[in-house]
Amino acid sequence: MAELPYYIPVDEALNIVHSFPLPTRIEHVGLDHASGRVLATELKSNVNDPPFDNSSMDGFACSYDGQTVHDSYHVIGLVQAAKDEQTLDVKQGEAVRIMTGAPLPDGCNAIIPIEQTETIDETTVRFLNPPKTNFVRYKGENIKQGDVGLTKGTYLGPAQLGMCATMGYATVPVFERFRIGILSTGDELKPPGEPLAYGEIYESNSFGLASLVQWLGHESKRYPAVHDSKEALVGALDVAAAECDLILTSGGVSMGEFDHVRHVMEEQGDLKFWRVKIRPGSPPLFGFWKGTPIFGLPGNPVSSHVVFRMIVAPYVRSSLGSTQPIEQKARAKVRDIIKGTADCLTLRRVILKHTDEGYHAFQPKHQGSGNLDSLSAADGLTLLPPGHDPNIDEWIDVLVL
């Protein structure tokens, strides 16, 4: 048997998970339900947009030959958006009152905005400036019929949803959401709302992870926390594997005697790697349980969150050929002492302040991997490569949250 990749760089972990993409399914959904989904095919426009030359201003349309300017113009009619077609023959010295979005009358090539005109009487208007061939939106200038407006894998945010509608689609083919099961493990975990007994803490990871799953656009299924017993864990994993496309566990992957996730994966699972050079969050594992991919995330709340962002999210996105929703990388100037680590990609939680020269990064909070407050208060995560301790005023990469 090939040796299990152990304590590998983040890039190597990503290469491994990317070689096991989640199987996808396609469904057709109405635009009302397509926000945050990922397109399963490219979309070509059903129409020219705009479908006809039209005015981008309220004003007057006229024919301008590039030189002749009349003292005043005779107003021969009015065109409005989406009204019956009119056959107006507009000659030199004549103008048509036109509303935004109304089709440009034949022969016209210039729009004079209403603010740049003076009404003399009901049928006479004067232009305060010489006409220009401006403010015309030409047929197909946004997109031409048959052109690809959105590519496969596009994340449907507000602008992209608008494009679907503009191109004439009432429903769109999207990838089905993955159902992602979340199992936290640990005898000490109590659901919030119940009183804590000695030695107990509130279970928080499953809520944070469920929110991350939803942010990625998928369905989260939170299971009750599992006790630190092999039998309980195996039973819970069997249920989750049958019900979900992907399983996330938290806790139980370190060196402890009761870290059963690692033990049962070693004994009964199909393990692909264990431990990654990432701080916080070095203990994660990846593999399959009864054919279903599983990430064993660390128990510490900051660690599980960080590993989700750095490894789970890229895996889920790449399974759909999508890179979004976007997390922006930016440069930030270090303004507090921030420590890297010898061999890990180090993600410190920083507060970012925007300044004239760009972001400044501060680290006011205790950085323990159990200190969820440091994450909740943060705007960014440092992306310090292994062996890098930045100096004050040095510019570093950060992930903007």
Taking CB within 5 to 8 Å according to partner kind, which of Mg ion, ligand AMP, none is near residue 131? Answer: none
SS3 108: coil
SS3 208: helix
Closest residue by Cα to residue 281 from 299, 255, 294: 299
Residue 251 in the binding site for Mg ion (CB under 5 A)? yes
Taking CB within 5 to 8 Å according to partner kind, which of Mg ion, ligand AMP, none is near residue 109? Answer: none
Kindly identify the residues of this chain, within the stretch 251-290, that bind ligand AMP according to CB under 6 A: 251-252, 254, 256
Taking CB within 5 to 8 Å according to partner kind, which of Mg ion, ligand AMP, none is near residue 254? Answer: ligand AMP
Q: Which is nearer to Mg ion, 80 or 204 (CB)?
A: 204
Taking CB within 5 to 8 Å according to partner kind, which of ligand AMP, Mg ion, none is near residue 184? Answer: ligand AMP
Residue 205 in the binding site for ligand AMP (CB under 6 A)? yes
Please state, in angstroms and rounded to a whole number, the distance separating the CA atoms of residues 313 and 295.
11
* Number of residues located near Mg ion, criterion CB under 5 A: 4
The residue sitting closest to ligand AMP, measured at its beta carbon, is 299
Q: CA of 62: how far to CAs of 66, 140, 297, 334, 342, in Å?
A: 12, 22, 68, 59, 72
Q: Which is nearer to ligand AMP, 160 or 249 (CB)?
A: 249
Residue 186 in the binding site for Mg ion (CB under 5 A)? yes
Residue of 69, 81, 201, 242 that binds ligand AMP (CB under 6 A): 201
Which amino acid, one-letter code, is at 204? S
Residue 204 in the binding site for ligand AMP (CB under 6 A)? yes
Q: Which is nearer to Mg ion, 58 or 200 (CB)?
A: 200
- Render 219-282 in DSSP notation, one character per residue: EEEEPPPBPS-HHHHHHHHHHHHHH-SEEEEES--SSSTT-HHHHHHHHHSEEEEEEESEES--
Q: Which is nearer to ligand AMP, 40 or 306 (CB)?
A: 306
Report the nearest approach of ligand AMP to the CB of residue 274 (Å).
13
Examine residue 192 and say whether the peptide bond preceding it is cis (omega within 30 degrees of 0): no
Report the nearest approach of ligand AMP to the CB of residue 276 (Å).
14
Report the nearest approach of Mg ion to the CB of residue 388 (Å).
31
Kindly identify the residues of this chain, within the stretch 271-310, that bind Mg ion according to CB under 5 A: 299
Kindly identify the residues of this chain, within the stretch 351-370, that bind ligand AMP according to CB under 6 A: 370
Residue 348 CA neighbour count, 13 Å, CB half: 26
Report the nearest approach of ligand AMP to the CB of residue 191 (Å).
10
Helices 260-268 and 230-243 pack at an angle, to 10 degrees, of: 70
Q: Which is nearer to Mg ion, 217 or 299 (CB)?
A: 299
- Residues 275, 7: contact at Cβ < 8 Å? yes
Residue 186 in the binding site for ligand AMP (CB under 6 A)? yes
Token representation of residue 119 = 């009404």
Describe the chain by its helix, strand, coil percentages, rounded to 5.
20, 30, 50
SS3 378: coil
- Residues 233, 264: contact at Cβ < 8 Å? yes
Taking CB within 5 to 8 Å according to partner kind, which of ligand AMP, Mg ion, none is near residue 94? Answer: none
> CB under 6 A: which stretch of 12-20, 199-207, 212-220, 318-326 binds ligand AMP?
199-207
Q: Which positions touch ligand AMP (CB under 6 A)? A: 184, 186, 188-189, 201, 203-206, 250-252, 254, 256, 298-301, 370
